[in-house]
Structure 1
Amino acid sequence: MNQSRRQVMQLGAGATVVGLAATAGLLPVTAQAADAPGWNPKLFEAKTLDEVAKILGATPTESTDVSIIGPDIAENGAVVPVGVKSTAAGVSMIGIVVQKNPTALVATFNTKDGAEPNVATRIKMAQTSHVYAVAKAGDKLLFNKKEIKVTLGGCGG
């Protein structure tokens, strides 16, 4: 009986600690992209680079001011390391578009004035495709592309 009482007391103390941590805001919360400032769900419904540019109100222009870093061959499409950087002036957003993915726009990153537009992340790719590094500067969507070959698809493939 004492052992049972001890276990009940331990559970009660554990629940109290978790409750206090939650009340104090110390537990992690789920990130909600839809709550982010400037969130535009239509961007992530776009199927091509041209559609992304149209939604952003920009003209797509190939440029050497944007560069993409990634492998020539990705053994696993579920975790493909990709980096994007830009040397163009006035960049307000950089992103990654994968031509043959179910959702073409994979990620966007807003930049502040004076910040160096340079990010690295891991993306999912359904199959071998051109990957576009994009940078929005004024009314232009500067881009550069690289073909990345995928041997094992990461988007349900």
Structure 2
Amino acid sequence: MIDAKRRTLLKGSLGASAIGVAVSAGLLTPGAVLANWPEAAFEATETDAALNSLLGSDATETSDQVKIKAPDIAENGAVVPVTVESDVEGAKSISIIAAGNSSPLIASFNLGADAVPFVSTRIKMAETADVIAVVQTENGLLSNAKPVKVTIGGCGG
């Protein structure tokens, strides 16, 4: 048992050392590691631009198959719990948007072929607005929205 833990520690240490050497030698840069990150989508200031950049389209169809669970009133906009799930077969991704934020795209989760279309996270909301969930399928984009009132210090803002 101790030997197995020791081997795991040694393997992890060797892997981290190899990455450290590659970074210090200039063979691996943080930009190369994050090259597939959709920067334009997360920096977009409008929902349509973010969806176009991320998913190639902003044409969404409102659907009851996309379910959002979020509080009606969030007493702290810095920590708003959101859960999104869908009944859609073959969902490719789930994206979460806070319409009132200066950068509305909050998160995008790519799903594997056999993944259950379900995500749960906490988001930051700048003001009272809709939380929009977009599920990408082979046939297009399905969405649903839920209004969330953000209060300041729990006093209704």
Instruction: With the length of structure 2 as denominator, give the TM-score of the two structures.
Output: 0.72
Aligned to 1:84: 84
User: Equivalent pairs: percent with the same residue?
Assistant: 43
Aligned to 2:21: none
Q: In 2 relative to 1, CA 123–130 (structure 1 residues): closer, same or farther, beyond 3 Å?
A: same
**Runs of 4+, deviation exceeding 4 Å:** none
Aligned to 2:39: 41
Distance 1:77 1:53 in 2: 23
Q: Give the conservation status (yes or no) of the 8 Å contact 1:33–1:39.
A: no
Aligned to 1:111: 111
Match of 1:69, as an amino acid?
A: K
For structure 1, the residue ranges without an aligned partner over 5 or more in a row are 1-19, 27-31
After TM superposition, give the deviation of residue 64 of structure 1 in Å: 1.1
Aligned to 1:52: 50
- RMSD over equivalenced CA pairs, Å: 2.7
Deviations 1:114-150 (A, max 9, x none): 1101010000000100110111112522110000000
Task: Select the structure of larger CA radius of gyration.
Answer: 1
For structure 2, the residue ranges without an aligned partner over 5 or more in a row are 1-9, 18-29
Comparing 125-134 with 138-147, greater Cα deviation is found at 138-147
After TM superposition, give the deviation of residue 77 of structure 1 in Å: 0.3
Q: In 2 relative to 1, CA 141–151 (structure 1 residues): closer, same or farther, beyond 3 Å?
A: same
- SS of the counterpart of 2:51? helix
Aligned to 1:14: none
Aligned residue pairs total 129
After TM superposition, give the deviation of residue 23 of structure 1 in Å: 5.2
